[in-house]
């Protein structure tokens, strides 16, 4: 029997507590805003009254039996899952929990090299051995795409002891792998598939977009409802398909890092966002796509810019999420960084991401015709002011995947030292370096630093690329291993695709 998706159990319990006018002799210590008047004056008394903690009538997120349990059941049905768990520490916590739920320390996991840094941190926390697959590249835009079922099949043959396959659905630029094919390849040998669906909370509600993880048969998916489905920042959900996955074990893993004081404002926003998507999601996404297609058509008419589209024939782009509008501005004589800066400083428009070549416009259910029309007018004005010539920026070919010397976890916990990057050849990195574009880690903890990698980083620095991860933001120095505390046999983390 279908559940009543008009219900909002957490939100209703929260409203009931506030409406009763309960006198609080419990945390939080601001006591409904009385202890923080300046902040309360700005955000409003009602928000502070809603900032509550676990108590009998509001349930407990670590062992839900009441409103949270009911709301999670409604969410599972709304997203086509068998079970769902609310997350108040973002999709990052879900990704880390997924890895820990399917792998034990020392186990192997197959994952694309352009996995989010939360996956790399998940490897460090769990002690899992990575087997990296190199995603296909789109050279004109300098962005990474997806992986193919064939790559996964080969990896599973080379590493039959792998415990899971990790996928991204879709990536930051909107490209999605053949998820059904990957699931078939993994399930054929009894291996679960887990998905980073941070940028895909809207996929389930449209047939014009890439398949959602649950529709494709994925076993576990962490989904950022706050990004594209209306809930508040830091609120996400973990979706489960039963069979190869034990939901009770997943919950036990989540509870290892789950706060015992979750934000009920975030939980209530998840509850209401689920209701909205369950009842109106298909229409909301349809309207969003109508605005997206119009904006894409109009932007495509502007001389000097190009838009990333589905890459016909590319195995790494089986399908494409058009709501991520990647605008290449090289033809305007600009870098993406310059475009972002001008949009913000002169026009008060903030894009989602910029890199050497591009800016990303992220469409969602909250965009209005007025907002996108204003954006179009601004981009037309900027293009009219620019000479149409290629910007002198380039992205050299990525260096080969580094040799893996120790597990990411061992590298993180080893004795380390900071040395000049130019002198780091042959050293084992104790940190990650990630470059945008293409969003692929150049080196991860435990990997050997090559001369090619050093030279690549130097070029990116000269081009003012966005380099993330190192403790030294200037990347004049890099943290390397001085002494490995528990050296293990070198992990099998080679690229096999």
Query: What are the pLDDT tens digits along the chain (497 aa)?
Result: 899 999 999 999 999 999 998 889 999 999 999 999 999 999 999 999 999 988 889 999 999 999 999 999 999 999 999 999 999 999 999 999 999 999 999 999 999 999 988 999 999 999 999 999 999 888 888 888 999 999 999 999 999 999 999 999 999 999 999 999 999 999 999 999 999 999 999 999 999 999 999 999 999 999 999 999 999 999 999 999 999 999 999 999 999 988 889 999 999 999 999 999 999 999 999 999 999 999 999 999 999 999 999 876 778 899 999 999 999 999 999 889 899 999 999 999 999 988 888 999 999 999 999 999 999 999 999 999 987 766 656 667 778 889 888 999 999 999 999 999 999 999 999 999 987 766 788 999 999 999 999 998 988 888 777 788 889 988 999 999 987 655 454 445 445 55
Entry pTM: 0.93
Cis peptide before 479 (omega within 30 of 0): no
Question: ∠ CA(334), CA(168), CA(478), 5° rounding?
Answer: 60
408-483 CATH choice from 3.30.450.20, 3.40.640.10, 3.90.100.10, 3.40.190.170:
3.90.100.10
Residue 9 and residue 64: Cα distance in Å, rounded?
Answer: 12
Angle between helices 247-257 and 90-102 (to 10 degrees): 130
Q: How many Å is the maximal CA-CA distance in the chain?
A: 67
281-385 CATH fold:
3.90.1150
For the chain, give every domain's residue range. 9-279, 281-385, 408-483
Residue 193 and residue 201: Cα distance in Å, rounded?
Answer: 18
Please enumerate in sequence order all residues whose Cβ is within 8 A of that of 460, keeping only pairs 6 or more positions apart, or say none: 435, 467
At 471, list the tokens: 């403790």
9-279 CATH choice from 3.90.400.10, 2.30.130.10, 3.40.640.10, 3.30.9.10:
3.40.640.10
Q: Is there a shared CATH topology between the 281-385 domain and the 408-483 domain?
A: no
Distance of CA 451 to the CA centre of its chain: 30
Q: Are the CB atoms for 359 and 375 separated by under 8 Å?
A: no
At 330, list the tokens: 């090289």
């Amino acid at each position: 029997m279908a559940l009543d998706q008009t219900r909002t159990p957490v939100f209703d319990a929260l409203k009931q507590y506030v409406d009763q006018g309960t006198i609080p002799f419990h945390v939080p210590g601001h006591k409904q805003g009385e202890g923080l008047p300046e902040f309360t004056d700005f955000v409003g008394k009602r928000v502070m009254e809603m900032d509550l903690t676990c108590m009998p009538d509001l349930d407990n997120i670590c062992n839900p039996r009441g409103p949270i349990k009911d709301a999670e059941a409604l969410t599972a049905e709304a997203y086509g899952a068998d079970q769902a768990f609310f997350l108040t520490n973002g999709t990052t916590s879900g990704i880390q929990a997924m890895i820990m739920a399917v792998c034990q320390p020392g186990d192997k996991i197959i994952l694309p090299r352009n996995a989010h840094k939360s996956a790399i941190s998940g490897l460090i926390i769990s002690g899992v051995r990575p087997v990296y697959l190199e995603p296909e590249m789109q050279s004109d835009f300098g962005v990474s795409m997806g992986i193919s079922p064939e790559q996964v099949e080969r990896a599973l043959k080379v590493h039959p002891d792998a415990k899971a396959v990790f996928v991204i659905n879709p990536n930051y630029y909107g490209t999605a792998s053949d998820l059904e094919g990957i699931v078939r390849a993994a399930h054929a040998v009894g291996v679960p598939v887990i998905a980073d669906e941070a940028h895909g909370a809207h996929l389930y509600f449209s047939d014009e977009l890439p398949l959602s993880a649950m529709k494709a048969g994925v076993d576990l998916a962490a989904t950022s409802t706050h990004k594209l489905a209306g809930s508040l920042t830091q609120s996400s959900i973990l979706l489960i398909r039963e069979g190869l996955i034990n939901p009770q074990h997943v919950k036990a893993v989540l509870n290892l890092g789950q706060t015992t004081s979750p934000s009920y404002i975030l939980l209530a926003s998840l509850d209401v966002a689920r209701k909205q998507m369950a009842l109106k999601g298909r229409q909301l996404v349809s309207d969003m796509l109508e605005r997206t297609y119009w904006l894409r058509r109009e932007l495509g008419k502007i001389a000097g810019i190009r838009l990333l589209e589905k890459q016909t024939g590319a195995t790494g782009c089986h399908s494409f999420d058009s709501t991520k509008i990647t605008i290449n501005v090289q033809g305007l004589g600009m870098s993406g960084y310059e475009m972002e800066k001008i949009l913000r400083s002169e026009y008060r428009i903030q894009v989602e991401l910029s890199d050497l070549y591009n800016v990303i416009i992220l469409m969602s259910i909250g965009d209005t015709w007025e907002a996108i029309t204003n954006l179009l007018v601004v981009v037309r004005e900027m293009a009219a002011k620019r000479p149409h010539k290629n910007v002198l920026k380039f992205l050299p070919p990525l260096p080969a995947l580094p040799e893996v010397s120790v597990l990411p976890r061992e590298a993180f916990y080893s004795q380390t030292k900071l040395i000049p990057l130019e002198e780091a050849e042959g050293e084992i990195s104790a940190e990650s370096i990630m470059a945008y574009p293409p969003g692929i880690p150049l080196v991860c903890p435990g990997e050997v630093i090559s001369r090619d990698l050093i030279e690549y980083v130097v070029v990116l620095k000269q081009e003012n690329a966005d380099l993330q991860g190192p403790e030294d933001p200037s990347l004049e120095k890099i943290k390397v291993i001085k002494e490995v505390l528990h050296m293990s046999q070198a992990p099998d983390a080679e690229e096999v695709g």
